[in-house]
Structure 1
Amino acid sequence: MNLSRMLAQREAAGDPVKVGIIGCGKFGAMYLSQARLTTGIHVVGIADLNVAGARETLTHIGWEAERFAARSFDDAEKHRSTFITDDSTSLIQDGGLDVLIEATGDPAAGIRHCLMAISHGLHVVMVNVEADVVAGPLLARRAELAGTVYSLAWGDQPALIAEHVDWARACGFKVVSAGKGTRYLPSFHQSTPDTVWDHFGWDLEVVKRGRLNPKMFNSFIDGTKSGIEMSAVCNATGLTPQPDGLAFPPCSRFDLAEVCKPTENGGTLTHSGTTEVVSSLHRDGTEVEGHLQYGTFVVIEGETDYARYCFEEYHMLPDSSFRFASLYRPTHMIGLELGVSVASAALRGEPTGSPVAFNSDVVATAKRDLAAGEVLDGEGGFCVWGKQTAARTSLDEGYLPLGLAQNVKMKRSVAIGERLKWADVEIDSDDDAVKVRREMEAMFAAPNS
């Protein structure tokens, strides 16, 4: 509990942590709004393809004009200001950074930026969880070999869930399940950017004020982001997905231990040691009272009678048998909390979650009947959603990773609900992201049993 003190020491020494960020969208804007208020942090540079848009965003979130008036990285260093550029390569190579934040949301770009940053000795905070589930295990291994940190992003749910799991294990508890809440109905798998706000139930004024991207937010409502985030959790903690992926059972924050335990114990899970996402909606569309739509959780097992007595005595949100109990965080603050990852990487040399295995994958699944010749539009779009799938199953069946289902043409027709395969699309084998993915598969995939 001393990151702020360590940052203050860096500030007093005139040596603040030097940070660069690629991508000035919603997550990036949330981080930057707090970075200007954080002692011991200097945002040296921001890379975004839309420089004018990045400048306007900084003004919108409260940055004074002089804070981003630097005309070069040297000028930024000299005047403790920020240089905005459309050249991400220059930011990585010439920015004099300690930590790079990758927040583009583009898997191919994220992989490219991460590998470049590692080769230049930078710590990487991977906000781009899409890139993490395509090749995170390999990226983390590369960083480890280079003596740098590859970290999931604190404030985003995967890192918070990984912390829950770490807490439980450090206390000697068996982890039964871990996950988050969301707003879910089965029909949402067919959601598109045209229908997303109806499914969220948000007033359009909130959408406008927040400058919310319908394609990005559609990935939250159609089930894709849940699959991505739970795959990141599995790969960072060693948990394993359920055979058919996430079931999204309706559940309140007070019933987590009752619902998110194995079926053999009266719950809904196929096995212990897995991930699940609970819905804030009953299947009839009515709201679950005391839901956990924006929160995270872990369910633990008391393996002794004494622990179970304690679950009961201290009202530790137990199930009806007092064998299982839960811990939850009611909400997450997304980019507003990202400074924890930056400080942890730079000052402790520790990630706030990092892949240790390739246990889970996210597979492109047809939202509607797809015809040969159609070009897929990727995450949150009109064509596919991402289904959590065991990595071994994904490899054995030749399923197409969701992160590579962007701007690729269908070679055959596929029915709604069917998981796409590599053979179903025209893949450029020379594409860097494809090469890295294939290398990651070869490195981490266990042999067939």
Structure 2
Amino acid sequence: MNLHRLLEERERAKRPVRVVLIGAGKFGSMYLSQARRTAGIHVLAVVDLDPPRAHASLARTGWKAERYGARTLDDAAKNGTTCVTDDAAAAIAHPATEVVIDATGSPAAGIAHVLACCANRKHIVMVNVEADALAGPLLARRAREAGIVYSLAYGDQPALICELVDWARTAGFRVVAAGKGTKYLPAYHASTPHTVWGHYGFSEERVAAGDFNAQMFNSFLDGTKSGIEMAAVANATGLTPAPGGLIFPPCGVDDLPRVLRPSAEGGSLHHAGQVEVISSLERDGRPVFRDLRWGVYVTFAAEHDYVRHCFSEYGIVTDETGEYAAMYKPSHLIGLELGISVASAALRGEATGAATGWRGDVVATTKRALKAGEMLDGEGGFTVWGKLMSAKDSLAVRGLPIGLAHKVKLKRAIGAGAPVSWDDVEFDATAQAVKIRKEMEAGDYC
């Protein structure tokens, strides 16, 4: 990789890559901690609906106050400093802006920011995988038509999985499965913000002493975040979900080639070419040996005696037949690695993963029996979790995407464990995010 060399060239030319970060939460803060000491990068603006939070994030991550004291975007561009603002539209449209990072986590905001980047021809890095799962295939196509890069965020697991898939295919291997690890038990699908801390083993004292968002943590636990991230991977790589969604087989790194192979050959997969998440817990709650809770993996096939011999010769861990092997990354550094996507977009015009079609979707699925008139509370809440489906199956049931299952009212009662459809809820057909999603559903994206 030559990204650092290219950044140094921009630094020497006094023409740094100018970046706008939207969202100064945890992911954004992690990026800020690295951006301040990366050659060839100038954070032109940090945008947040709560500017004092952005100031606090900059201070917490080692920025000196004089570096983020620009009063206007023009001042920041002229002086090489950073402007803190709550005006995302102005920051995106500013002539100096080159790359925009959406780290908001809001699907509606993410869609609006991508469309603004298309209109203003600015590259966009989507930490906001929630927006990507909702409408990524359409947004990526719009970006290509506008001549800009639309990219998943390196450091987040979907982009790292895409990298492993690309590595395997470029090396000539047929990819059998790809995905990530997580902590999973079937009972977690019913978890709510009231029960989440018990599942994590957090005491009341620990929660009270920290800055913990129960609904956000619950979205990781109840399966929603796994579904969202695997939809993004499916749409970017061409791998597809199993018909019943994610199965979360317990698996450690030494067993990847054995477990992540087709069921017809003794594994857990419905088919070769599947996205799947593995659990760090056995079904009885015991920890998996050498789990991959924080990492990502790819399994691939030898397809020839010579390659199987090479696997054996070089100590590659395989299944008992020698046919299936795996590579994995044991952890991910989240926002600390995000600069890879920024540099790739600006200097190479390349995404670190982006949707090429609509293959996976995440449909709101009831956690309990719900009554007519109840209000859905979205990702990680009390009412629904996000289940991964194929896009075709989602269209067949008119599935309500989890990204739009927030603050919408049920028109009828729905039993527990059932998908919610567009027909079950009252929604605002004039909202931008709804219109974009409906356009994708009516288009040729599958």
- Shorter-chain TM range is over 0.9
Q: Could you tell me how far 1:269 is from its partner in structure 2? A: 0.6
Maintained 8 Å contact 2:161/2:297: yes
- Corresponding residue for residue 241 of structure 1: 241
- Corresponding residue for residue 132 of structure 2: 132
Q: Does 1:119 align with 2:133?
A: no
Whole-angstrom CA distance in 1 between matches of 2:7 and 2:190 = 46
Q: Could you tell me how far 1:183 is from its partner in structure 2? A: 0.3
Q: Could you tell me how far 1:415 is from its partner in structure 2? A: 1.5
Q: Does 1:273 align with 2:295?
A: no
- Corresponding residue for residue 99 of structure 1: 99
Maintained 8 Å contact 2:259/2:267: yes
Q: Give CA-to-partner distance per residue, 1:247-281, whole Å, 9 cap, x none.
A: 00110011011001110010011100011100000
Q: Does 1:339 align with 2:350?
A: no
SS at match of 1:212: coil
Q: Give CA-to-partner distance per residue, 1:175-198, whole Å, 9 cap, x none.
A: 000000000011111112222222
Whole-angstrom CA distance in 2 between matches of 1:404 and 1:206 = 32
- Corresponding residue for residue 147 of structure 1: 147
Q: 1:8 corresponds to which letter in structure 2?
A: E
Maintained 8 Å contact 2:137/2:445: no
Q: Does 1:221 align with 2:260?
A: no
Q: 1:179 corresponds to which letter in structure 2?
A: G
Whole-angstrom CA distance in 2 between matches of 1:275 and 1:139 = 22
Q: 1:98 corresponds to which letter in structure 2?
A: E
Whole-angstrom CA distance in 2 between matches of 1:202 and 1:236 = 35
Whole-angstrom CA distance in 2 between matches of 1:209 and 1:256 = 38
Whole-angstrom CA distance in 2 between matches of 1:24 and 1:399 = 32
Query: Would the alpha carbon gap of residues 27 and 85 (structure 1) be closer, same or farther in structure 2, given more than 3 Å must change?
Result: same
Whole-angstrom CA distance in 2 between matches of 1:425 and 1:96 = 43
- Corresponding residue for residue 438 of structure 2: 438
- Corresponding residue for residue 395 of structure 2: 395
Q: Give CA-to-partner distance per residue, 1:97-124, whole Å, 9 cap, x none.
A: 1000011111011001110111101000
Q: Could you tell me how far 1:54 is from its partner in structure 2? A: 1.4
Structure 1, 75-84 or 286-295: larger mean CA deviation: 75-84
Structure 1, 368-377 or 239-248: larger mean CA deviation: 368-377
Q: Does 1:185 align with 2:185?
A: yes
Whole-angstrom CA distance in 1 between matches of 2:244 and 2:323 = 26
Q: Give CA-to-partner distance per residue, 1:385-438, whole Å, 9 cap, x none.
A: 100001001001111111110111111111121111110100111111111011
Query: Would the alpha carbon gap of residues 204 and 252 (structure 1) be closer, same or farther in structure 2, given more than 3 Å must change?
Result: farther
SS at match of 1:327: strand
Maintained 8 Å contact 2:138/2:445: no
Q: Could you tell me how far 1:442 is from its partner in structure 2? A: 2.3
Whole-angstrom CA distance in 1 between matches of 2:154 and 2:228 = 16
Q: Does 1:53 align with 2:58?
A: no
- Corresponding residue for residue 317 of structure 2: 317
Whole-angstrom CA distance in 1 between matches of 2:25 and 2:199 = 22
TM-score with structure 2 setting the length: 0.98
Q: 2:381 corresponds to which letter in structure 1?
A: G
Query: Would the alpha carbon gap of residues 267 and 99 (structure 1) be closer, same or farther in structure 2, given more than 3 Å must change?
Result: same
Give the unaligned 5+ runs of structure 1.
none
Maintained 8 Å contact 1:231/1:388: yes
- Corresponding residue for residue 259 of structure 1: 259
- Corresponding residue for residue 407 of structure 2: 407
Maintained 8 Å contact 1:317/1:327: no
Whole-angstrom CA distance in 1 between matches of 2:61 and 2:356 = 36
Q: How does 1:59-74 map to 2 (within 5 A)?
A: 59-74=59-74
Query: Would the alpha carbon gap of residues 123 and 206 (structure 1) be closer, same or farther in structure 2, given more than 3 Å must change?
Result: farther
Q: Could you tell me how far 1:213 is from its partner in structure 2? A: 2.2
**Identity rate, percent:** 57
Give the unaligned 5+ runs of structure 2.
none
Q: Figure out how many residues of one structure are paired with residues of the other and give that number.
A: 446
Whole-angstrom CA distance in 1 between matches of 2:153 and 2:421 = 30
Q: Could you tell me how far 1:289 is from its partner in structure 2? A: 1.2
- Corresponding residue for residue 20 of structure 2: 20
Whole-angstrom CA distance in 2 between matches of 1:258 and 1:394 = 30
Query: Would the alpha carbon gap of residues 122 and 210 (structure 1) be closer, same or farther in structure 2, given more than 3 Å must change?
Result: farther
Q: Give CA-to-partner distance per residue, 1:359-392, whole Å, 9 cap, x none.
A: 0100001112211111111111111110000100
Q: 1:20 corresponds to which letter in structure 2?
A: V
SS at match of 2:436: helix
Q: Could you tell me how far 1:34 is from its partner in structure 2? A: 0.8
Q: 2:331 corresponds to which letter in structure 1?
A: T
Structure 1, 310-319 or 102-111: larger mean CA deviation: 310-319
Maintained 8 Å contact 1:135/1:437: yes
Whole-angstrom CA distance in 2 between matches of 1:271 and 1:14 = 52
Q: 1:150 corresponds to which letter in structure 2?
A: Y
Q: Could you tell me how far 1:212 is from its partner in structure 2? A: 3.4
TM-score with structure 1 setting the length: 0.97
Whole-angstrom CA distance in 2 between matches of 1:30 and 1:207 = 21
Query: Would the alpha carbon gap of residues 168 and 443 (structure 1) be closer, same or farther in structure 2, given more than 3 Å must change?
Result: same
